Structure 1
Amino acid sequence: MGLLSGMFMGALFGIAIMAGWRYMMMLRSKSRAAKAADIKLLGSLDREDLKKLCGDNYPEWISFPVYEQVRASFWICEIALHLSRRLGFFAFFKQVKWLNKQLSKLWPYVAEAATIIIRESVEPILEEYRPSAISSLKFSKLSLGNVAPKIEGIRVQSTKPGQITMDMDFRWGGNPDIVLGIAAAGVSLPIQLKDLQVFTIIRVIFQLCDEIPCISAVVVALLSEPKPRFDYTLKAVGGSLTAVPGLSDMIEDTVTSIITDMLQWPHRIVVPLGGVPVDTSDLELKPQGKLMLTIGKANHLKNMEMMGKSDPYAVAFIRPLEKFKTKVIENNLNPVWNQMFHLTVEDKETQYAVVEVFDEDIGSDQRLGIAKLPLVDLEPQIEKDIELRLQPSLDMLKIKDKKDRGTITVKAMYHPFTKEEQDAALAEEKRMLEEKEKMRDDGAINSTMDAVDDPKHVVG
């Protein structure tokens, strides 16, 4: 009897469960049908209609069928801009924290790959920018260590269809093991780079596309303001830095020149991503205009000679690889040159022209003074007379002797390029670099960093 009653109660219980389940499914179906009707109604409204109804507080389940109307990359830009405005610091703080966590995990693999790339790509650059006093400059040892860099902040600077521009605060207090093999003045000396500290702001431009991973190319550059900070110490391995006089300063000048000429905005590195070939020509650095710079005269130069007076000449450049020099005026502290140079400008808003005055001497020429001329203040096609005060260095924080070095007077006029002039300038830049490399190979100059006279760029 107990068995029968148990079977009966079990059957009733099962029927009750089935009936309840059917009832719940009917309610769920009605709810989903009602929600679908609401979504269909809202789907017939456009963005402006919804703003009138809801303001900016859209329900999370509302979306817009825009796939056929605009590129997906536009909405990525809009989302990034929305996050930066709506969520502000906290959203990007979480994003930065996540990026640093992933970078720490990936750093051993990133460092290994970066070491190979640096050795293959940087050594030719070191040779190109090598000072004339150094006959060989290569890596004897190269390891980036196990401490990953950190991103301390991200700011979205601009968004437009197909492109996002961000600035990232970058810091690296790494423990790399870098040894440079240097040969100079008949002495071979391994130099170890220690206690590396890097702080800079990196400008990153993402070129977006519709295909996964949604980024077709990345542009990377260092911002010039505030000035990138690279702190390190140089230690001779088994010797002394004094074995080659001025070696530490030469290495520091070389590093500064490479960073300024290759990595500091407007100069940039363009990296295509993904397997689909893309056109990155719009992202690459292009000539924007021409600076016609006339170096007139200098006054009250500092005398560097024990007997007699200095033999000054001036060097003008925007990029260190495109330097031009005036004639030498012997035994004169108030020289007059009146020579014009045509210098290529890539970004008038951020670049400046540099004018250096040297004393020609046997062996190594001595710098008498240096000055820079920001281009942003120049009006197109209007010549401007400017007097520049000469300084011992552009980085006065490292200079103890801050005595007056005199002045130099110049005339400057900026000419913006047409498309045809831009193409001609690109071809001329290539010709000049090839000519300087040939001169270096023939022994006419020691380095492509050396200043030269070029009849196409100088008017005496």
Structure 2
Amino acid sequence: MTANRDAALSSHRHPGCAQRPRTPTFASSSQRRSAFGFDDGNFPGLGERSHAPGSRLGARRRAKTARGLRGHRQRGAGAGLSRPGSARAPSPPRPGGPENPGGVLSVELPGLLAQLARSFALLLPVYALGYLGLSFSWVLLALALLAWCRRSRGLKALRLCRALALLEDEERVVRLGVRACDLPAWVHFPDTERAEWLNKTVKHMWPFICQFIEKLFRETIEPAVRGANTHLSTFSFTKVDVGQQPLRINGVKVYTENVDKRQIILDLQISFVGNCEIDLEIKRYFCRAGVKSIQIHGTMRVILEPLIGDMPLVGALSIFFLRKPLLEINWTGLTNLLDVPGLNGLSDTIILDIISNYLVLPNRITVPLVSEVQIAQLRFPVPKGVLRIHFIEAQDLQGKDTYLKGLVKGKSDPYGIIRVGNQIFQSRVIKENLSPKWNEVYEALVYEHPGQELEIELFDEDPDKDDFLGSLMIDLIEVEKERLLDEWFTLDEVPKGKLHLRLEWLTLMPNASNLDKVLTDIKADKDQANDGLSSALLILYLDSARNLPSGKKISSNPNPVVQMSVGHKAQESKIRYKTNEPVWEENFTFFIHNPKRQDLEVEVRDEQHQCSLGNLKVPLSQLLTSEDMTVSQRFQLSNSGPNSTIKMKIALRVLHLEKRERPPDHQHSAQVKRPSVSKEGRKTSIKSHMSGSPGPGGSNTAPSTPVIGGSDKPGMEEKAQPPEAGPQGLHDLGRSSSSLLASPGHISVKEPTPSIASDISLPIATQELRQRLRQLENGTTLGQSPLGQIQLTIRHSSQRNKLIVVVHACRNLIAFSEDGSDPYVRMYLLPDKRRSGRRKTHVSKKTLNPVFDQSFDFSVSLPEVQRRTLDVAVKNSGGFLSKDKGLLGKVLVALASEELAKGWTQWYDLTEDGTRPQAMT
């Protein structure tokens, strides 16, 4: 019976007592009762009656005693009592005790509100779907987007962990196994040193570097952000922690050949994988965001120049990236939205563009170590040369398109991507052709040819993912030595395929002695002063401005920005906020077709009030007679204050091709081999760097020149025939291509770069329009206006100080699809092509004779507008995510007319590029 009672007591023990020390065992039931205060004296008759076998009353008493023992234990535990032989600590008071009367649970209010907010955020989309009557497919789309976002963040975290493991214990990770493309540069190339002593130095200095970065964020960046906009007046960094993991230098290369004797050039392969925490807050809007980890990989060039005979022996230190580095950021807070697929690549691209405006060639950071007089030349970098690339044709490419699940092999839709440093060009797509002919020409600036290569990759365009057709890398040092290369090159990393290129190295001449010969060679006609191949290069250093007038409000300082244009090409400086004496210190370059007939137009504008602060016109012919074809002075601004000036340094350099005679059996080693990289990484190496248009103030690192109207260059077809055998004597020089720069998260731009010598290399919209015209012609003669006409009323209002444009109607437009066209009109006042300067009409559905009757205005004065050009384009809308979008016609209206104040109403013929407008009354 005693055993049964012990079993009953243990089975009814309170669940919360499962971790308590076991009750000491006693020899008999009397000892057990006396130990807990239940002896036979307190409960008379319990000892005799409870043990009566088969007694119903005894059973009830035994059960009652067990309940009493359990209640006594619980009350003793609640009061902090301990049983004999137990060392248990007092338990916390239970709900309902004296500290929490009534048994009410204490719940934190912020936690409850956060839970309610999360529940509301989850239920609101569901309610919205039901309220709006949307399809269930939207739920599936949201779930797929959420899964994709989580997968993307997981992959980011995995890459971060791998990079941290490689930095912490490189030897162990390499022994376990690592891809060849992830190994540092010193493993592949003997001329790259490991320099582990440098990493030890950086590690020792890292805490002080972190202190400098924190001061930079709090004392420089934070006030600048607050002053940029009134809505950001409460912006602040709540935490700036760069992390304990220091920057690592994976390899150092010092150049000893083809280097000026007064400079030292070093290439540093850097990697920063940091668990940093940078948190920011805008208290006014209760907005919190931040970054929790950053990865940066790239090749940084450090130039020590000029070397001098006095201490500190080095005049200045220049730092820049040879090309855009790989960047990966993990966001926190509100910026988690940037990790959404589609936005993650866009956000990284925008940040990379900002970095490029300061740290990617030709932009650089110069740290002077001596007086300003000795390093003035460093602030005005002149390119080493210009590389003219004739992208002619390819032969015997692979057929990547297949049908019937691979049973039938088709052809390919090849196009090329060309990169020189940070300049990237893309050719047009040739449909279904294994021997495509492009006949396109591009011109690229070369600032640092040691360590730079010309990289070309061919792809087959597909709706989902483009297939790799081959690559080619050419050493620019060899091109400079040869001056001219015109031959077939064998494509690497593919079993077959050849590419025909003509490469010209153009030297920058500081005199005009060879200008007439150059103009004759490129056929610079008088009527094509803005189009075609370049004969010269204009280099402009924008220094500062003084005594600028205020904007529309006299009491406020302007936000000046400078717009510069030569012909159809325009560039813009960075914005300087709230000052009438801005300092820019920026460099710009323009390719010039005919300097005898072209002008440099400069205008200073107030970004805040969208008004002009002054303008300037410099004929380039004046530079031809200046000393060294360079002018450095303060220029007086027109239509501005009496003492308003702008300081610039302008230099003109003639592009001269020096031909050298070579023996027939001469061989070169221009083509180099790429380091072994994974096939997947090779597909995205260049395409991953193709971003959108540079941000405001970014220099034109990939200049493109308008095309020459007409046919291809004569004699090109004869040169295009391939030789019987491929080029011989191609040696493997083992140049580094830094495959770390491949970033699959970036979004490539599928728009060809305009060529500068081929009629078939216009922008993609113009190409499609010309193809559509040829299809419409089909052996017949089209009328005088094959693309239709547009009726405009243009006049300038002196009272309102605005240009007024009324778009009346269009007639006889071409049909963009079987259902007709959905036309609308888009306008720019060149050279301003910013989004704020764009004007658009409404869309007219399914009509070829739309009527708009809409009026638009541009805030511009009469003297200023007479130097502008109105860019009017008729486009097909096509709807959201539709492929039926494109150009229907274009017209460029010159506004340099004395009748502009009175105005006129005319019909204008639409053309492919707007360069040949014909007005009809």
TM-score by structure 1 length?
0.49
Specify the structure having the higher radius of gyration (Cα): 2
Return the TM-score normalized by structure 2.
Answer: 0.28
Task: Specify which structure has the higher proportion of helix.
Answer: 1
